[in-house]
Amino acid sequence: MSTKPQLPQRPPRAEVGPTALDGLLVVDFTRVVAGPACTQTLADFGARVIKIENPDGGDDTRAYEHAEIGGESAAYLSLNRNKCGIALDLAVPEAREIALDLIRRADVVVENFSSGVMKKFGLDYEAVAPLNPRLIYCSISAYGRTGPFASRPGFDPITQAESGFMSLNGFADGPPVRTGPPIVDIATGMTACNAILLALLARDRLGRGQHVEVALFDIAMAMTGFYGMAYLINGQNPGRFGNSPSGSPTVGVYEASDGPLYMACANDRLYKRLVVEVLNRPDLITDPQFATRKARSENKELLRAAIAEVFAGDSLENWMAKMKLANIPVGYLRTVEEGFNAPEARERHRLYQIPHPTAEWVPNIEPPISMSVTPAMDPVAAPLLGEHTDRVLRDTLGYDDRRIAEFARRGVFRSGKPSAPL
């Protein structure tokens, strides 16, 4: 039976000092995974990210069903840390006025609507660039904003399937398998963040902004990596290799007498150390069937069976100790529960709890980037729907009570929750 992990409270930053993106204003029209992953990284390192959501339910991930706490889903909380949240119904003209006022002041706009949505609202790059020539405008989509596929909807698993990426995952005797986490979405968010930072550096030199685009399909194709490059060189369609890339018998999962391990013994030097120092089977290097990498590949099933037989004869901890002593790359094959409670996670301080207005506290997975001079800001939990609408309108845009009341009367905020300070 699983138990909910106990997490320590997060200590504040060691020193109060600058963040890498101090003063950067980002207007965030994104939802689901790729876009919010991009803008969360910007927010983690000091950008002021204003997340605009439809008041009628907001970001789709708010309704995802993995888990929830304080009325907020795990998916939404994991992707929207450190952002201000406002609720605007962009179908109302006055809401679009507010969006344009924010864009005039922004350094960056990020959007991942379906093709044509931002243009319909008069918020596309061509419409807003004259208002703010230094603006970096990032569009994230499945197949790009131009060309014959621009209007096609697409999601992470679709682009995994269509790019060939999915065909590389799984076992040779089984069907293609999508990755568990939405890896194309996550990589697209990371790439979009890189594109924005590149454009900001270019703006410093050129004095003007630009439109940058990132497409899920392009990312999925790029992530085929050297398998895709090998196909382009030799014309041979790569297959699936399960846990052993290229069918290597010394890379993959093996079973000790009481549990699994994952070994990555991928070159001759490591192989010799494995069979001599760890397995005590020098015959596995002197036997001509296994003496060279090519021979081992040709006889991989025979070799894998011999190695598996040895591993099955002793306990997991004994093998781990022997392999670590011989400096063989090896790891425990853990569940999420085991990984999140492992020393590597706890001693590297990857997990904390942080305050939350409706849940008292929520879990937090720390950003995977460390910077010695400009570390990440202290984390603030993802905003409630419309939580900071009032503050943004007053402090960022300078609207007074009368104007805000008029916007409310016209249905700009509709069912947004009451505002609260960040």
In a 10 Å sphere around its CB, with 0-12 CB exposed, 13-18 middle and 19+ buried, how is residue 288 labelled? Answer: exposed
The HSE-up count of residue 293 (CA atoms within 13 Å, CB side) is: 11
Separation CA 124–CA 266 (nearest Å) = 49
What token pair was written down for 233?
């060189």
Q: Which residue type occupies 55?
A: P
Contact 214, 140 (CB under 8 A): yes
Burial of 302 (0-12, 13-18, 19+ CB in 10 A): middle
Dihedral of CA atoms 335, 262, 251, 272 in degrees, nearest 10, equals 170
User: Rounded to an integer, what distance in angstroms lies between the CA atom of residue 312 and that of residue 304?
Assistant: 12
251 Cβ neighbours under 8 A, 6+ residues apart: 243, 244, 245, 263, 264, 265, 266
Which residues, in sequence order, are bridge partners of residue 251? 264
Q: Indicate the helix (H) or strand (E) that contains 97.
A: helix 93-105
Helix residue spans in 177-312 (DSSP H): 183-206, 216-222, 225-234, 268-273, 283-286, 293-298, 300-311
Instruction: DSSP letter for 256, please.
Output: E
Number of other CB atoms surrounding residue 231 within 10 Å: 14
Active site residues: 185
CA torsion, ordered 194, 47, 365, 159, to nearest 10 deg: -40
